[in-house]
């Protein structure tokens, strides 16, 4: 791309405005981005229309003016357009700022702004503060002086894209915690181990056995947990005698620190060494900025069980009857004493 050798070419010659797109991912040695969308708007007559439509970057929960450096439309004889919002932003709102410091929010049907609002930095996008990473809106651009008619200028449909810069402003949270009192009430969770033969028991650790999530990492814009976290680290400060945690490639070396990446890869093993039916250990979870203390409870049972321990779906306030809610494996989290990932358990209705 830096060498300018990548080009977009139309398959056919068009005499009217056309929209196209392609999807792509950004790949680095350590991470792969979500699927991104690149919009292309073809305006016939390269010498008659000048369009500037660049992605706006906004900090999570903040506002940012939309200026003519990111959005502008002009022709040789016209620089005054009305932009009518047909699909509003999904995770924020547009507003027009006044010189007195007030704001008029563009939320009504057919709300619009003009080229003058853009040039005078009156047009502002305000992010809602949710955990979305992108936003977009669709508007129609029309000349303020030319009225569309049978032979007149047509409206120009344009998608405008917004990139949300995330803040690490939430502490990790435990899904469906219980509370054990050890001087203070700490969120805790239980890992069951099947010990029907009274022998040393081991089980592969998975992220679902440490059901933590980080709102800054693995929530989508609708505040629904959709995937395991990727940025958490776990620390066990004490020397524990009843169990050990080891890496699969170093089974004789007990560890006290591990990450969600290791949990997601299934490379960790826990071995229960005690004759007691239950033990507990305190540990902490960190996302780099926030640390939360918790308690791990290990229980051995003679029976093999599988049961669903979390089946509650919270409907956001104001949801209509026709609203679609994403149901994920985190809404039907299973508890089992078997050596398998609880997320692999299937529910049958």
Query: Does residue 294 lie within any of the structural domains?
Result: yes
Model pLDDT, residue 129: 86
Q: Is the CA virtual torsion 255, 259, 260, 262 positive or negative?
A: negative
Model pLDDT, residue 202: 86
Query: Does residue 349 lie within any of the structural domains?
Result: no
Examine the fold and report which residue of 115, 137, 165 is the final residue of a domain before the chain moves on.
165
Examine the fold and report which residue of 140, 165, 190 is the final residue of a domain before the chain moves on.
165
Query: Does residue 303 lie within any of the structural domains?
Result: yes
Domains of the chain: total: 2
DSSP type of residue 2: T
Model pLDDT, residue 101: 81
Q: Are residues 149 and 177 in the same domain?
A: no
Query: Does residue 85 lie within any of the structural domains?
Result: yes
Q: Are residues 151 and 273 in the same domain?
A: no
Model pLDDT, residue 177: 61
Report the Cα–Cα distance between both ends of the chain, in Å, rounded. Answer: 51
Examine the fold and report which residue of 146, 165, 184 is the final residue of a domain before the chain moves on.
165
Q: Are residues 181 and 125 in the same domain?
A: no
Cβ-based burial of 298 (10 A; exposed 0-12, middle 13-18, buried ≥19): buried
User: Does 93 have pLDDT greater than 90?
Assistant: yes
pTM: 0.58
Q: Are residues 100 and 183 in the same domain?
A: no
Which tens digits make up the pLDDT trace of 5-35? 888 887 765 545 778 899 999 998 888 888 8
Which tens digits make up the pLDDT trace of 177-210? 665 544 456 777 788 787 755 556 888 998 888 8
Q: Are residues 122 and 61 in the same domain?
A: yes
Report which of residues 145 and 83 the model is more confident about: 83
* Helix spans in the chain (H): 115-119, 260-265
Query: Does residue 7 lie within any of the structural domains?
Result: no
Q: What is the percent of the chain with per-residue pLDDT over 90, rounded to a whole number?
A: 28
Q: Are residues 306 and 204 in the same domain?
A: yes
> How far from the centroid of its chain's Cα atoms is residue 276's Cα?
42
Q: Are residues 228 and 91 in the same domain?
A: no
Q: Over the Cα atoms of the chain, what is R_g?
A: 27
Q: Are residues 158 and 177 in the same domain?
A: no
Segments forming the whole domain that contains residue 287: 173-344
Q: Are residues 188 and 330 in the same domain?
A: yes
């Amino acid at each position: 791309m830096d060498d300018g050798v990548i080009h977009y070419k139309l398959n056919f010659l068009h005499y009217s405005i056309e929209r196209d797109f392609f999807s792509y991912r950004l790949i680095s040695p350590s991470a792969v981005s979500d699927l991104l969308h690149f919009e292309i708007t073809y305006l016939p007559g390269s010498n008659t229309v000048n369009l500037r439509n660049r992605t706006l970057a906004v900090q999570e929960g903040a506002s940012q003016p939309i200026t003519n450096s990111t959005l502008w439309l002009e022709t040789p004889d016209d620089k005054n357009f009305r932009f009518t919002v047909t699909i509003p932003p999904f995770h924020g709102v547009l507003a027009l700022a006044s010189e007195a410091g007030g704001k008029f929010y563009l939320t009504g049907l057919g709300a619009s702004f003009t080229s003058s609002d853009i040039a005078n930095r009156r047009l502002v996008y305000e992010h809602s503060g949710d955990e979305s990473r992108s936003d977009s809106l669709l508007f129609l651009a029309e000349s303020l002086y030319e009225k569309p008619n049978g032979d007149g200028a047509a409206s120009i449909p344009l998608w405008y894209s917004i990139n949300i810069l995330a803040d690490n402003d939430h502490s990790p949270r435990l899904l469906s915690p219980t509370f054990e009192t050890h001087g203070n009430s700490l969120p805790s969770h239980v890992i069951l181990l099947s010990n029907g033969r009274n022998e040393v028991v081991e089980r592969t650790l998975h992220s679902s056995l440490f059901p933590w999530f980080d709102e800054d990492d693995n929530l989508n814009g609708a505040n629904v947990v959709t995937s395991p976290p990727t940025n958490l680290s776990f620390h066990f400060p004490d020397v524990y005698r009843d169990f050990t945690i080891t890496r699969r490639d170093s089974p004789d070396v007990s560890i006290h620190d591990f990450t969600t990446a290791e949990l997601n890869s299934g490379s960790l093993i826990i071995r229960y060494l005690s004759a007691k039916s239950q033990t507990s250990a305190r540990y902490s979870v960190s996302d780099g900025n926030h640390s939360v203390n918790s308690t791990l409870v290990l229980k051995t049972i003679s029976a093999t069980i599988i049961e669903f321990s979390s089946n509650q779906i919270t409907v956001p306030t104001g949801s209509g009857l026709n609203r679609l809610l994403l149901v994920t494996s985190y809404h039907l989290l299973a508890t089992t004493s078997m050596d398998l990932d609880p997320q692999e358990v299937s529910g049958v209705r």
